[in-house]
Amino acid sequence: MDLKVVFVIVFLSALAITSTHAGIPKCCIKVSKGQSKLLLKVERWERQYRNGPCDIDALIVYVKNRTTPYCVNPRYTKLLTKLMNAKKSQKDQTRGV
């Protein structure tokens, strides 16, 4: 096979992988207990489902001043939703909205 054809195939394969985010997913492999101090500092969170590429259900919690997220039990979904809504309404009141 011609070297140019091989180069084009490799380039297109690399382009397809990077443009579709077909890399290895970052999954929680275990969940920790929700600590109240930790949950109060949550900036945002995402839900991980086990029916996708990951093996367990979990909440991926991003905490202020931390570079790595925490994985907590998904039963804290309602609590985190209430905390985030309370933070949002408190922020709106301080702005005068």
DSSP structure string for the chain: --HHHHHHHHHHHHHHHHHTT-S-----SS-BPPPHHHHHTEEEEEEE-TTTTSSS-EEEEEETT-SS-EEE-GGGHHHHHHHHHHHHHHHHHHHT-
Report pLDDT digits (tens) over 19-62: 555 556 688 888 887 677 788 888 888 898 888 788 899 989 89
Whether residue 68 is predicted with pLDDT greater than 60 in this model: the reply is yes
Please, what are the domains in the chain? 25-95 (2.40.50.40)
pTM of the prediction? 0.64
